[in-house]
Structures are given as structure tokens and as C-alpha cells.
Amino acid sequence: LYDNGFELAEYLIFISFFVVRASVIAIKYGYYSEEDLRNIEHGVSTGKWNVQSSDKKMLLAGWCGIPRLLPGVIQDCINDAQVAVEVDLKKVSFKLSSQDSLAWNADSKMDTGDCDKVSALHVFSRVVTSTFGESIFNRKRYVRGCVVGVWSLAWTAPALKACFGLPIFGNCWQSKLIGGLILFNEMIFGTLTLLLLACTAHDFHRRCNATRMLSKLMTLPGMPEEEFYANLGPSDQDVEVPTDVLLKEWKKRSETSDPAIDLSSLAVQMTNVAVDVSNTSLESDSESCSNRYIHFDIRDPENAFAWMLTRRTLRKCGAAYFRRGILFQANYMLAGILGVVIANSYIWTETPHYIFGEVGLIVYFLVLTFTFVASAHFASTLQESVGDDRLMLKRDIFLIEKEIIDVRSEMHDLKENSNPEEEELGLEELEGYCQILESSKTFIRSSEALVAYEEEEHDPIIVLGFKADSVIVSSILSLCLGSLWLIYEGYSNTDFKYNGEGLFTIESEG
């Protein structure tokens, strides 16, 4: 059984990484458009396809890896999302709740041309760039988790062999060479393969942050201006930064790097727009920058409409990467389940094997399962954010109804205590205001119903074919614990035990 230095389970784990990797590549190319496939076939010689074009289509190298450093990745997703929803966000605008509390002024060039309005495309681009522009490599715990998980798996068998006094890679040079190649491939390619599943978790996490950021703009007190303009980079080609925010960023960089950094150069670097600014004219504004908030009152029908379109567009941002990630989840989970099924079959069928093969399969299952659980957790968090937004809308409906009651009461008092001329003018004004409130209530109620149907019934987040929620996470954890308990029960109820050499054999023979 161990003449060549390896147990069957070691080969199965090694081969499974290649199978999973091959299926990942197949899924990736399956989501390429026909035009992309033609460019791959003929475009290298014509210049239509290059290394950068390939990186932009990848999940790890492009969408989750370094999206800010690949020109067009984020902007293409912004444009594609608008096409998918069939909307042009340039023609939609948010109305600022209070100009006095914001940095935007008459000098700001908004697409609407009004100083109290902000283009929905401006808001959408800022939300997408701020959240989706974050690289997975900035989240060190993802990378560390993948490295620790795969390297623990790779070294499980060699460590157990050493504990039982067995040769780690066999006795001949051929087996040592093969063993070294297997170990190297598991550590390197296994880490890269598992990082793709971590990319799915990272993408779900970014989508949660994007949804929260958009919701924060609609709830009091709003979002601090500095936070809204955080994480600026080369991708923000169309983002116009208020001059006081620009000055604050200049001061921060001057303290940490070169004090002689030129402010105009920083403006070009951050916005790709040449800005003629002077330090003196901006000093007075910079002190109040941190006290200003950006808020859009969703009770305004114009804001509710812009929020709905922006939210629907946000769900379609990077849709192709998103669907690939969902298939990656199922792919990895099925591979993990296959590993634990083989581990159980070893015990329950009393198949002779070494303990390092059994433990390797268990570790393989645990590594894939817990990485999947992290991804499913963020998927369920994203899906549950639908309920949070519905609750926000219902609260606003409640507040509008209370305001309507107050207006009706004021109208009643006006009829009781005023002369006919004042009564007619006052009632006309209050009646008009009441009609606006009624229209707002109706529109927000329709928005809430649309969110409920579209995102909870028609097109919810799917994990393993089921709607993502806390139940799916609990089910996977239950499957994990149940599978381990089944292995323990099988081992406890059989006459086969592991002997001093780690071989699974009849106890009397040990």
C-alpha cells in the first residue's frame, strides 16, 4: 500500500486541485462574449487582444486584484451596468437636502446645471470606485487565510508520516522527485486556486459596502464629505472633487511625503483635470470640510427615483464576475463534499489506508468548507441588506403619514381660527403640500414593493441553488459537523483501528 511512498488519498487531493482549477478556467471562458473569444483567437496579431485585455477579464488579476491599475475595468462595469438596467444615470439627479451643509456650490460643474442637484452618475461612480476599487490584497486576512489553509493541507501528510516514522516521500529518488513536485504544486497552485474562492467572498463584501454606502447617503445625518471622497484614484476620471477636499488631501500627503508637492499636480493626479488653485483661497474652507455631510432625503420623489435607479444599476455592476463567483462557490463546495465522502467511505467500508490519507481528506474538506462559509456569509449579508433598505422605506412612509396627519390638523385649525381670505390662501398652500406628501408616499411604497419583488423573489442572491441567507450558512456548518461526527461514529463502531505505523487495520492484527 505504501511501497511507492504515497497513499491514494494524496493523489486524489493533488488531482482534485487540477480538476477544480480546470473547471474554474472553463467557467471563466464560458462567460466570455463571442467578440472576446474572436479577439483571443485572432486579436493578438492585430493588436485587439493583449495581456492587459486578458487581465481585465480575470477575477483575481483584474476585478478583485488591481482594478484601479487596469484602465477601463471599473468604467466598463459602470457603463455595462447602465446598459443592463437600460438607464442613463446622467439624466437622473439627486437633490441635496441642504446646501449649507455641503461643499458643492455654484462653482461645481454638475450635469444637471443646478447647484443643489448632483448627477446620479456622479454618485454611482463614486460609490463604485470607492468600494469596488479595493483590492483583495489590501485585505491581508484573506490572503493569510488561503496560505495557511493550503499549506496546512500540503504539509499534513508529510508531518504525519514523520510522526509515525515513515519516509516522507518514499525511499527511491523517483518518489522523492514526485513528492516534491506534488508538495510544490499544492502550495503554489493550491493557494492560487483557493484565492479565487476568497475573491468571491471579497466581491460579496465589496457589494455589501457599496449598498451600505448608498443607503447611508439616504439616511440622516448622511455621509461625511471626506468619507464620500475617500479612496480617490486614477479611475475617478469624471469625479469632480470640491477644492477644500483637495486641499485636505494635499495637506495629508505633504505631512507623510514631500512637503513641496504641488497642489495643481495633485488635482490632475486625483481628477485628471487641471485646476488653478491657491493655498490662501482654500484655507477658510478646509477647516469646515470634516463637518459637512452629504445627504439626500428619500422622501423627495426625485431622490427616491434616483435612488431606485442607482440601486438597481449597482446590483448589475460587474454582473459577469458576480455570476462566475457564484459558480466558483458551488464548484469548490462540491469538491469539498467529495473529499469528505471519500473519507467516510474509507472508514465505513473498512478500506485499508494510512491515517495521513484520511486526515488529509478531512483537512481538504475543512479548508474548502470554511472558505465557502466565509463567502456564503457575505452573500447572505448582501441579501439581508434588502430587508434593511425595505425597512428604511417603510419608516419613511410612516414619517410621511405622520406629517400628512399634522398637515390635515393644521388645515382644520386654519378653518376654525382664520378669516375667509387667509383661510383660502392657507388651505390652498397646505392642500398642495399634502398632495406632494401623498404622491411621495405612493411612490416610496411602490419602490418598496419593487425592491421586495425584484430582489427577494425574482432575482435574489443565489448560493448552491438557494436564496442566500443565514439558513444556508447554518446548513453548511451543520453539514460540516455532521460529516465529521459520521467519521467518528464509523471509527468507533468498527474493529479496524490505526496501528503504530498509522495503517488502518483490524485491532487484533495491530
SS3 182: helix
> What is the C-alpha to C-alpha distance for residues 376 and 205, in angstroms, rounded to an integer?
10
- Mean of all residue pLDDT scores within the chain: 76
User: What global pTM score does this model have?
Assistant: 0.77
Predicted pLDDT at 137: 81
**What is the tens place of the pLDDT at every residue in 123-162?**
898 888 888 888 888 788 888 888 888 888 888 888 888 8
CB atoms within 10 A of CB 173: 9
State residue 103's pLDDT score.
41
The DSSP code for 290 is: G
**Cα–Cα dist 30/193, whole Å:** 18
Three cell numbers, residue 179: 513528492
Q: For the chain, report the end-to-end CA distance as a whole number of angstroms.
A: 16
Per-residue pLDDT band at 493 (split at 50, 70, 90): confident
Beta bridge partner(s), residue 466: 463
Whether residue 221 has a cis bond before it, omega within 30° of 0: yes
Under DSSP, is residue 293 helix (H, G, I), strand (E, B) or coil? strand
Please give the average per-residue pLDDT across 250-254, as a whole number: 56
Percentage of residues in the chain having pLDDT higher than 90: 2
Please give the angle made by the CA atoms of 496, 498 and 503, to the nearest 5 degrees. Answer: 100
- Distances from the Cα of 400 to the Cαs of 105, 281, 298, 329, 467, in angstroms? 29, 42, 11, 43, 33
pLDDT at 385 over 50: yes
Q: What does the CA dihedral 384, 387, 389, 394 come to, rounded to 10 degrees?
A: -170
Q: Is 97 helix (H, G, I), strand (E, B) or coil?
A: coil
Sign of CA dihedral 203, 122, 73, 226: negative
Is residue 506 within a helix (H) or strand (E), and if so which, with residue range? strand 504-506
- Assess whether pLDDT exceeds 80 at residue 462: yes
User: Given phi > 0 = left and psi -120 to 50 = alpha, else beta, which region is 42?
Assistant: alpha
What is residue 354's DSSP assignment? B
What does the angle CA 364 – CA 368 – CA 373 come to, to the nearest 5 degrees? 145
- The answer to whether residue 266 scores a pLDDT higher than 70 is no
Phi/psi-derived region of residue 118, left when phi > 0, alpha when psi is between -120 and 50, beta in every other case: beta
Interacting residues of 504 by C-beta distance below 8 A, sequence separation 6+? 346, 347, 350, 351, 352, 353, 354, 355, 358, 496, 497, 498
Cβ-contact 135, 66 below 8 angstroms: yes
Beta strands in 424-468 (DSSP E): 462-463, 466-467
Please give the Cα distance from 420 to 160 (Å, whole number): 96
Q: How far apart are CA 323 and CA 357, in angstroms?
A: 34
Q: What is the pLDDT of residues 156-207, one digit of tens each?
A: 888 888 887 777 777 777 777 877 888 887 788 778 878 888 888 888 888 9
324 Cα distance to chain centroid? 13
Lowest mean pLDDT among 170-179, 229-238, 267-276, 355-364: 267-276
Strands 117-119 vs 93-95: parallel, antiparallel or unpaired: antiparallel
Furthest-apart CA pair in the chain: how many Å? 109
Is residue 469 predicted with pLDDT exceeding 50? yes
Please compute the mean of the pLDDT values over residues 221-250 and round it to a whole number. 61
CA–CA separation, 270 vs 264, rounded Å?
A: 10
Is residue 167 a contact partner of residue 161, using CB atoms and an 8 Å limit? yes
Task: Give the number of other CB atoms < 10 A from CB of residue 502.
Answer: 21
d(CA 223, CA 121) in angstroms, rounded, equals 17
| All cell numbers assigned to 39 | 479577439
Instruction: Please say whether the beta carbons of 132 and 74 come within 8 A.
Output: yes
Q: Is 238 helix (H, G, I), strand (E, B) or coil?
A: coil
Per-residue confidence (pLDDT) for residue 46, from 0 to 100: 63
Mean pLDDT, residues 289-298 taken together: 74
Please check whether residue 124 is in contact with residue 228, taking contact to mean a CB–CB distance below 8 angstroms. no
Exposed, middle or buried, 240 (CB in 10 Å: 0-12/13-18/19+)? middle
Span 18-36, average pLDDT: 81
